[in-house]
Amino acid sequence: MKPEENKMEKIVSLCKRRGFIYPGSLIYGGLAGTFDYGPLGVTLKKNIENIWWKMFVENREDIYGIDAAILMNEKVWQASGHVDGFSDPLVEDLKTHRRFRADHLLEEAGVDIKGMSFDDMSKVILEKDLKSPDGNKLGPVVNFKMMFETRIGADAEGGQVSYLRPETAGGIFVNYKNVYDSFHPKLPFGIAQIGKAFRNEIAPRDFIFRVRELEQMEIEYFIDPKNWELEFENWRKSIWEFADAVGLPRENVHELEIPDADRAFYSKRTIDFEFDFPFGKKELYGLAYRTDYDLGRHSKASGEKMEYLNEETGERFLPHVIEPSLGVGRTMLAILSSAYSEDTVEGETRVFLKLSPAVAPVKVAVFPLLKNKPELVTKAREIFVALRKEISGVVYDESGSVGKRYRRQDEIGTPYCITVDFDTIEKDNTVTLRDRDTATQERINVDELVKVLKNKIVLN
Ligand code: ATP
């Protein structure tokens, strides 16, 4: 097994064992493409989302947050083009009837699929006599629709067709007019949303990289088309700033300019941000200039006017849009795979997650040196209670030896551990503060702890 594959296995196993991420519906054998976030995973996820929300909604005057319904009128997805066009190329193993993504099989066979239609893919499969991963002949490439269809209502005809939204962007476009009418913003302005999206992926794989129920953080940033190049450049930089803020190493993030032939016809420029995952360089985020395609389609289909009036020049036009689209799960997987580390401490292999304190689910753990010494326990609990009033993500632990507690905290990425010992209560009111990455300790006065920790957590 390649070391990087081995690393993925170790991450998946750590995530399950320590309560970050569990396979969905596990006691019933699971459900492919779904995962449940455990107590540490949900905190890590919320930390990522909060950084995004703070950076792009709270700290900006030009972006409005919303939370739209997941179920929407089917006309939304007809107008957006998803009902007809949101599909992936599917190919079937003619013997086992297992189904695969044709583009992925071709890429794995070294074929450059840029600009290929589904028919082109079928031809290449035939020409090269490509086999399925099980070694059998493959059928023709067909269109596989990725939206989950459902029915709403209890009437005899079976209700009205609806879809689980395949992206959060639809909810944003439908609320463009609402936000515009409520707040009268001037261009440029954006609408932001974090939420679930659903895609019936042909082959969910690579842990939480490709799932059927996912979470996205999306912004539609409405602009005057005259300024699109400048605004696009600003968003390109903002994505890098976000990647820095969640602690992704810059050397593992790469921009991929999507060539004309591979872009959606309405997009004038698209950049994919890719990340070096243990299973290869793959899409992390997308940034697209989508012109006025979406508002144009919704305005036409709904009959609602969506034009913007520039009060200074008297010009009326449909705003154009730039869309930074970020996956929460892929951010988390990028964070976990770059944070996963092993070293040797006191002759033993130590596993630790080098999480940035900004995203770490537990930021500080407080221990008494011994749990059977009430004076140590009382002091440690006192410090724990005081700290958690000031800092989020503080836990108390007294089970097992201190060495074991350090290992447990290292494994979940806790940046700092504090131990109360006899010097604390008998000598100088100091505790040890241990750094996860270096495993070194320093003594800090209890009265200084909040200040020292706050500085460290912000500085890192
Ligand atoms: P891919 O080519 O990998 O299928 P995509 O180009 O279809 O992705 P977009 O439609 O641009 O993806 O979605 C925006 C973002 O949503 C992606 O950059 C990714 O972070 C996230 N995302 C999309 N599909 C999935 C999925 N099945 N599982 C997890 N995250 C996803």
Query: Ligand 1: distance of its center to the CA of 68 in Å?
Result: 20
Q: Is the pTM of this model over 0.85?
A: yes
CA gap 41, 35 in Å, rounded:
11
| pLDDT for the residue 1 | 58
Among candidate residues 332, 328, 331, the one with its CA nearest the CA of residue 20 = 332
Q: Which helix (H) or strand (E) holds 389?
A: helix 374-390
- The answer, yes or no, to whether the previous bond of 188 is cis (omega within 30 of 0) is yes
Q: Which atom of ligand 1 is nearest to the CA of 327?
A: 20
Expressed in angstroms and rounded, the spacing between residue 214 Cα and the centre of ligand 1 is: 9
219 CA distance to ligand 1 centroid (A)? 15
Pocket of ligand 1 (CB under 6 A): 167, 199, 201, 210-211, 214, 216, 283-286, 325-327, 329-330
C-alpha dist (Å) from residue 284 to 35, 270, 322: 18, 13, 17
Q: Hey, whose CA ends up nearest to atom 21 of ligand 1? A: 327
User: Residue 327 C-alpha to ligand 1 middle, in angstroms?
Assistant: 7
| Rounded Cα gap, residues 112 and 110, in angstroms | 6
Tens of pLDDT, residues 198-252: 999 999 999 999 999 999 999 999 999 999 999 999 999 999 999 999 999 999 9
C-alpha 12 to ligand 1 mean position (Å) = 20
State the pLDDT at residue 460: 54
- Distance in Å, CA 325 to ligand 1 centroid: 8
Q: How far is CA 249 from CA 7, 320, 333, 339, 362, in A?
A: 17, 32, 13, 9, 21
Q: Which atom of ligand 1 is nearest to the CA of 285?
A: 18
Q: Give the closest residue to 275 by CA, choosing from 349, 206, 201, 341.
A: 206
**Mean of the per-residue pLDDT values of the chain:** 95
CA separation (Å) from 16 to 2, 31, 176, 205, 351? 22, 16, 40, 16, 15
Q: Encode pLDDT of 313-339 as tens digits.
A: 999 999 999 999 999 999 999 999 999
- CA distances in angstroms from 128 to 88, 92, 107, 113, 121, listed in the order given: 21, 16, 13, 14, 11
* pLDDT tens digits along 244-280: 999 999 999 999 999 988 888 889 999 999 999 999 9
**Does residue 12 contact residue 207 with C-beta atoms inside 8 Å?**
yes
Return the residue whose CA atom lies nearest to atom 9 of ligand 1. 286
Residue nearest to atom 4 of ligand 1 (CA): 210
Sign, CA torsion 204/208/210/216? positive
Residues of the chain predicted below pLDDT 50: none
Tens of pLDDT, residues 393-418 = 999 999 999 999 999 999 999 999 99
Distance 333 CA to ligand 1 centre (A): 13
Residue nearest to atom 28 of ligand 1 (CA): 210
From 193, 198, 217, 283, give the residue whose CB has the most ligand 1 atoms within 8 Å, as the site to mutate. Answer: 283
Residue 211 CA to ligand 1 center (angstroms) comes to 9
Which of 82, 113, 216, 246 best tests ligand 1's pocket when mutated (most atoms within 8 Å of CB)?
216
